[in-house]
């Protein structure tokens, strides 16, 4: 099992419900992920449910304190028949509890007064020396200096635990956490200090040990300290740091090697809210669900309503459309892209042609002489068996998975191969996901380069496959920076549109998530080496999991400078200032080197220096989301998501998805459709007196009008509303001709002397015209 796609399929087989997963790619070393969410009791199947109930009568939601906690717990326990026990009691993210129940017990619980709803728990999966520099962050100046490196801000992560002894988490010279920090728990083996200000476990083993490595890596990426002389396996030596090295960290362990149970994730979120984190980073997720059935969406709503920004991985199920996770409009959904660094391993063929592959297994002792090139002429080239003598040969292996299977590498080494050329899975294009293996010299190449290498290797010759003078060698060049084009969207990064809400553009933003170097617990093997290989304190892994803490770090920097900004203002700042072009000045491309669509890259690549000073922002408050929920899902869902059993849609109002004041716009795209009208409101967070003019780059086949075309502000925080009218022009295909999914993209920019506030516009033939207003 080597991708979250397979992870989900396997989990489905176990559970018959989908399974939230850690959003990073794993090789077959870490695949034993079973669900223990079901068990048997009294001869009957029991399953863990998350049960939503009304708050106990005298206690309003959101009130904290130990007495109230005890009262809540007693109230929650009063729902349970004898025999069943509460696993978690929730008060912050929602009013309710988790418990393992048989069918009969569930029926008894649901008949109690105060019962609202119960969900069977899913199991979710877990969805940098170079990356701060690549994002334009440099020590002693610019945004890092302006934001005090994020000091005084607490970043909470829901993850696999943390190696608290790692040098990235030392606290020399760090101030204590802010007085409002209420996190008291520090569960062994973690010992807290002024950097790691909280560490709690919500999984069965009750420890904060990071047996997976994922949590140490994401925590280091978000807010690790500067560590000098870091390298991965001797490559890429430099100084490592997180995006907000001055911020405090709190780890909520909600996953282990088996995955992440939803009830535990919710318990971690509940604790994070009560402790007083400023940002929550969630590098895990499962397949899309309607928001009123998705505990992460429900919990995030409570967080956002309290002013806590929630940053989530978009998932690793790309490049297929409609594969996004965590798409609620009140969270920041993150896509993953490449970095301008290559761990270069060039394959040079006997005919002089050379192909730049990459490798984490670089052997400087490997002589660059010509080796016989082995490529089986008889069928399978997955390197599970060989039909010739490969001793001393460089072997070409094909793969059908995002990362080469360890078993193939083992087979080559055991059969005496000198090196291996691994050919990428075809639909991964230019995305090469690196894995560290045993010290077998190797190069991972793109499918296109692989096809040429295989073409050379199989040119007709005499009988034997290694004869005929076919030779190759691998030339290692450690790490090369300044690679172009970069960033490109990583193939695995999940794609929109959002299945749960297609009228809200998702993902929101892209950050580095391919081959990311960050902290690693030295006791966790990086290469599945069962013979006890070397231990490493840094490792290179990939996933939207790795992109997410980059954004959480940027949120921490913004929060430091603008402590009163709402999560929506922060997201708007990140989106409207992002860059749409790569380091060649070309529109950011996807894994096939096509112009990347909004559905893969979001608004663009995050630009931290600009994000702290966006000029204008598109704000949203809980009341705006309530009207949106009424428009999308109705009143029962409004009550479920807000936790307010007295909420009504007649009071909340009801707006279409397109009317949500989002910093990007999706419009339907049909020939002959009526004019589509949406309103947007911007808030001035730049100079008090400022003047912005609109610039429109209409999606092909549409005409976009903005009224008024100029916005004049006299004071700080002043709000101005404008109206956007989109018509499909005669010449545009507008998706009218065929049944295909037609998407055209453009943008709307508000431009002043010193700010550009860019909102992408996506015209999509699959979007219902009902998602907004129409003018005839």
State the catalytic residues.
159, 214, 545
**Among residues 270 and 659, whose Cβ is nearest to ligand NAG?**
659
Least distance from ligand NAG to the Cβ atom of residue 580, Å: 9
Answer yes or no whether residue 475 interacts with ligand NAG by CB under 6 A.
Answer: yes
Q: Helix, strand, or coil here: 90? A: strand
CA distance 339 to 134: 7
Least distance from ligand NAG to the Cβ atom of residue 7, Å: 25
Binding residue for ligand NAG (CB under 6 A) from 63, 426, 480, 703?
480
Q: Which residues pair with 539 in a beta bridge?
A: 518
Least distance from ligand NAG to the Cβ atom of residue 565, Å: 24
Q: Which residues pair with 722 in a beta bridge?
A: 680
**Among residues 305 and 347, whose Cβ is nearest to ligand NAG?**
347
Least distance from ligand NAG to the Cβ atom of residue 404, Å: 23
User: What tokens were used for 415?
Assistant: 């059969």
- CB-based contact 416:443 (threshold 8 Å): no
Contacts with ligand NAG, 587-616, as mask; x by CB under 6 A: x-------x---------------------
- How big is the CA angle at 640 (ends 636 and 644), to the nearest 5 degrees? 95
Least distance from ligand NAG to the Cβ atom of residue 342, Å: 9
C-alpha distances (whole Å) from 269 to each of 183, 215, 265, 357, 503 are 13, 15, 6, 41, 27
Binding residue for ligand NAG (CB under 6 A) from 74, 204, 469, 737?
204
- DSSP assignment, residue 428? G
Binding residue for ligand NAG (CB under 6 A) from 38, 110, 448, 477?
477
Strands (DSSP E) found in 289-426: 309-313, 332-337, 341-349, 354-358, 371-374, 394-398, 419-423
Least distance from ligand NAG to the Cβ atom of residue 50, Å: 18
Binding residue for ligand NAG (CB under 6 A) from 206, 464, 774, 775?
206
Least distance from ligand NAG to the Cβ atom of residue 738, Å: 18
**Among residues 645 and 654, whose Cβ is nearest to ligand NAG?**
654
Least distance from ligand NAG to the Cβ atom of residue 53, Å: 21
Answer yes or no whether residue 710 interacts with ligand NAG by CB under 6 A.
Answer: no
- CB-based contact 129:255 (threshold 8 Å): no
**No. of helices (H) and no. of strands (E), the chain:** 17, 37
Answer yes or no whether residue 151 interacts with ligand NAG by CB under 6 A.
Answer: no
**Among residues 619 and 659, whose Cβ is nearest to ligand NAG?**
659
Least distance from ligand NAG to the Cβ atom of residue 226, Å: 26
HSE-CB for 531 with a 13 A CA cutoff? 5
Instruction: Tell which positions 643-672 bind ligand NAG, by CB under 6 A.
Output: 659
CA distance 209 to 244: 23
Per-residue H/E/C for 559-611: HHHCCCCCHHHHHHHHHHCCECECCCCCECECCCCCECCHHHHCCCECCHHHH
**Among residues 104 and 354, whose Cβ is nearest to ligand NAG?**
354
**Among residues 105 and 624, whose Cβ is nearest to ligand NAG?**
624
**Among residues 204 and 385, whose Cβ is nearest to ligand NAG?**
204
**Among residues 194 and 679, whose Cβ is nearest to ligand NAG?**
679
- Count of CB atoms within 10 A of residue 446's CB? 22
- Count of CB atoms within 10 A of residue 769's CB? 16
With CB under 6 A as the contact rule, which of the stretches 37-45, 52-60, 117-125, 387-395 interacts with ligand NAG? Answer: 387-395
**Among residues 155 and 677, whose Cβ is nearest to ligand NAG?**
677
Write the DSSP string, 22-77.
EES---GGG------SEEEETTEEEEEEEEEEPPPTT--TT--SHHHHHHHHHHHH
CA distance 544 to 317: 10
Binding residue for ligand NAG (CB under 6 A) from 389, 579, 681, 725?
389
Binding residue for ligand NAG (CB under 6 A) from 138, 391, 535, 729?
391
Binding residue for ligand NAG (CB under 6 A) from 205, 351, 400, 754?
205
Answer yes or no whether residue 723 interacts with ligand NAG by CB under 6 A.
Answer: yes
Binding residue for ligand NAG (CB under 6 A) from 83, 188, 234, 392?
392
**Among residues 165 and 389, whose Cβ is nearest to ligand NAG?**
389
With CB under 6 A as the contact rule, which of the stretches 243-251, 323-331, 473-481, 743-751 interacts with ligand NAG? Answer: 473-481
**Among residues 34 and 535, whose Cβ is nearest to ligand NAG?**
34
CA distance 776 to 455: 59
CA distance 157 to 165: 17
- DSSP assignment, residue 658? G
- CB-based contact 671:732 (threshold 8 Å): yes
User: In this structure, what are the phi and psi dihedrals at residue 311, rounded to the nearest 5 degrees?
Assistant: -115, 125
Contacts of 257 (CB under 8 A, 6+ apart): 30, 32, 33, 211, 212
Closest CA to 289 of 503, 498, 10, 41: 498
User: What tokens were used for 257?
Assistant: 């090697």
Least distance from ligand NAG to the Cβ atom of residue 287, Å: 29
User: How many residues of this chain bind ligand NAG (CB under 6 A)?
Assistant: 16
With CB under 6 A as the contact rule, which of the stretches 191-199, 385-393, 554-562, 740-748 interacts with ligand NAG? Answer: 385-393
Least distance from ligand NAG to the Cβ atom of residue 719, Å: 12
Closest CA to 286 of 94, 37, 644, 643: 37
Tell me the residue length of the chain: 776
Binding residue for ligand NAG (CB under 6 A) from 6, 38, 193, 679?
679
Contacts of 744 (CB under 8 A, 6+ apart): 669, 699, 700, 701, 702, 732, 762, 763
Least distance from ligand NAG to the Cβ atom of residue 655, Å: 7
With CB under 6 A as the contact rule, which of the stretches 312-320, 388-396, 520-528, 642-650 interacts with ligand NAG? Answer: 388-396
Answer yes or no whether residue 239 interacts with ligand NAG by CB under 6 A.
Answer: no
Residues that bind ligand NAG (CB under 6 A): 204-206, 389, 391-392, 475, 477, 480, 587, 595, 659, 679, 721, 723, 773
């Amino acid at each position: 099992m080597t991708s979250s796609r397979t992870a989900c399929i396997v989990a489905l087989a176990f559970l018959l419900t989908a399974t939230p997963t850690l959003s990073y790619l794993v090789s077959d070393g870490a695949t034993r992920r079973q669900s223990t969410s079901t068990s048997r009791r009294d001869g009957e199947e029991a399953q863990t449910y998350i049960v939503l109930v009304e708050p106990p009568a005298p206690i309003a939601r959101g009130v904290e304190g130990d007495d109230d906690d005890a009262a809540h717990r007693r109230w929650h326990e009063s729902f349970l028949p004898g025999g069943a026990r509460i696993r978690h009691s929730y008060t912050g993210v929602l009013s309710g509890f988790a418990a393992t129940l048989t069918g009969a017990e569930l029926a008894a619980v649901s008949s109690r007064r105060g019962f609202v709803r119960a969900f069977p728990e899913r199991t979710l999966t877990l969805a940098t020396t170079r990356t701060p520099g690549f994002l334009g962050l440099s020590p002693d100046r610019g945004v890092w200096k302006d934001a005090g490196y994020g000091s005084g801000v607490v970043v909470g992560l829901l993850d696999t635990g943390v190696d608290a002894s790692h040098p990235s988490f030392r606290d020399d010279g760090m101030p204590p956490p802010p007085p409002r920090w209420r996190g008291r728990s520090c569960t062994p083996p973690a010992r807290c200090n002024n950097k790691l200000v909280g560490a709690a476990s919500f999984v069965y083993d009750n420890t904060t040990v990071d047996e997976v490595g994922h949590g140490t890596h994401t925590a280091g990426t978000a807010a690790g300290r500067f560590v000098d002389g870091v390298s991965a396996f001797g490559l890429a030596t430099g100084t490592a740091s997180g995006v907000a090295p001055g911020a405090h960290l709190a780890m909520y362990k909600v996953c282990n090697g088996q995955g992440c149970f939803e009830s535990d994730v919710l318990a971690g979120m509940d604790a994070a809210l009560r402790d007083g984190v400023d940002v929550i980073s969630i590098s895990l997720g499962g397949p899309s669900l309607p928001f009123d059935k998705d505990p992460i969406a429900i919990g995030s709503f409570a967080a956002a309503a309290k002013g806590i920004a929630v940053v989530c991985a978009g998932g690793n199920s790309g490049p297929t459309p409609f594969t996004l996770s965590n798409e609620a409009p009140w969270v920041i959904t993150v896509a993953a892209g490449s970095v301008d660094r290559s761990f270069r391993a060039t394959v040079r063929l006997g005919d002089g042609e050379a192909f730049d592959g990459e490798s984490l297994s670089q052997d400087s002792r490997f002589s660059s002489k010509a080796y016989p090139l082995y490529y089986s002429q008889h069928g399978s080239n997955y390197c599970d068996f060989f039909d010739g003598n490969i001793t001393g040969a460089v072997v070409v292996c094909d793969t059908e998975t995002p990362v080469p299977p360890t078993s193939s590498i083992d087979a080559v080494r055991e059969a005496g191969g000198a090196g291996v050329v691994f050919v990428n899975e075809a639909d991964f294009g230019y995305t090469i996901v690196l894995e560290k293996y045993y010290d077998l010299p190797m190069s991972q190449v793109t499918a296109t380069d692989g096809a040429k290498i295989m073409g050379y290797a199989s040119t007709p010759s005499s009988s034997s496959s290694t004869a005929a003078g076919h030779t190759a060698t691998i030339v290692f060049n450690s790490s090369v920076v300044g690679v172009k084009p970069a960033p490109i969207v990583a193939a695995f990064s999940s794609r929109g549109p959002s299945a749960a809400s297609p009228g809200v553009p998702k993902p929101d933003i892209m950050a580095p998530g391919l081959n990311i170097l960050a902290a690693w617990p030295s006791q966790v093997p990086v290469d599945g080496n069962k013979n006890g290989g070397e231990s490493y304190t840094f490792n290179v892994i990939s996933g939207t999991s790795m992109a997410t803490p980059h954004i959480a770090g940027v949120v921490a920097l913004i929060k430091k400078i603008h402590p009163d900004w709402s999560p929506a203002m922060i997201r708007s700042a990140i989106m409207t200032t992002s860059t749409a072009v790569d380091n060649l000045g070309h529109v950011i491309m996807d894994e096939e080197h096509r112009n990347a669509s909004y559905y893969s890259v979001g608004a663009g690549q995050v630009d931290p220096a600009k994000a702290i000073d966006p000029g204008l922002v598109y704000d949203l408050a809980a009341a705006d989301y309530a009207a949106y929920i009424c428009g999308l899902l109705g009143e029962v869902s409004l009550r479920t998501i807000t936790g307010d059993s007295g909420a009504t849609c007649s009071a909340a109002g009801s707006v279409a998805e397109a009317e949500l004041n989002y910093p990007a716009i999706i419009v339907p795209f049909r020939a002959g459709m009526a004019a589509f009208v949406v309103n947007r409101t911007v808030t001035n967070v730049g100079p008090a007196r400022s003047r912005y003019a609109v610039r429109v780059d209409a999606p092909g086949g549409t005409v976009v009008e903005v009224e008024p075309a100029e916005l004049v502000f006299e004071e700080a925080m002043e709000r101005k509303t404008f109206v956007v009218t989109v018509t499909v022009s005669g010449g545009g295909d507008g998706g009218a001709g065929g049944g295909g999914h037609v998407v055209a993209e453009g943008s709307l920019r508000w431009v002043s002397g010193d700010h550009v506030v860019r909102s992408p516009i996506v015209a999509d033939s699959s979007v219902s015209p009902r998602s907004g207003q129409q003018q005839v």
